[in-house]
Amino acid sequence: MKLKQIEESLSSKGFKITKQRKQILDFILKTKGHFEIEDIVYKMKKKNKNVSRATIYRTIGLLKELGFVEEVIKYDNKTIYEIAGKGHHDHLICIKCGKIIEFEDKNIEKLQNKICKKYNFKPIYHRLEIFGICEECQKGEK
């Protein structure tokens, strides 16, 4: 996804492209993985960007509503987001360091479909999150 594409979409829907929104969009697009809203707040303050916490929360809410970002994980009173359109995948989350590992597994997908069929259940969406301890943190425990 490109900044221009998002800006054009926002404009076509009647939303203004403010300096603050551009800064938030730039941060999100440069983020290679997952992010929390408070990550953006911290980075903006660190770079002396004049963007309020409320503006950041409203902008992420708008981007979520328009389908540009997705809420992918909720845990430990945190909400983790990522850029939309990456395709379906699931997550392993380390409860010690917060590391998030993305994975795909066709067998898991087949099993979920089989279970839905068995119960005559029409799935709309799903997400799988496995919480545990990553390899690096396990090494630190020894």
The annotation status of 36 as a binding-site residue, yes or no, is no
Angle at 83 between CA 115 and CA 81, to 5 degrees: 75
The annotation status of 88 as a binding-site residue, yes or no, is yes
Residues near 128 by Cβ (< 8 Å), separated by ≥ 6?
A: 90, 91, 108
The annotation status of 97 as a binding-site residue, yes or no, is yes
The annotation status of 89 as a binding-site residue, yes or no, is no
DSSP 35: B
The annotation status of 116 as a binding-site residue, yes or no, is no
Residues 72 and 64: their CA atoms lie apart, in Å, by 11
Strands 100-103 and 90-94, by their bridges, are antiparallel
The annotation status of 94 as a binding-site residue, yes or no, is yes
The annotation status of 134 as a binding-site residue, yes or no, is yes
The annotation status of 26 as a binding-site residue, yes or no, is no
Residues 98 and 115: their CA atoms lie apart, in Å, by 31
C-alpha distance across the termini of the chain, in Å: 42
Query: Residue positions in the annotated binding site for Zn(2+)?
Result: 94, 97, 134, 137
Binding residues for Fe cation: 88, 90, 109, 126
Annotated binding site: 88, 90, 94, 97, 109, 126, 134, 137
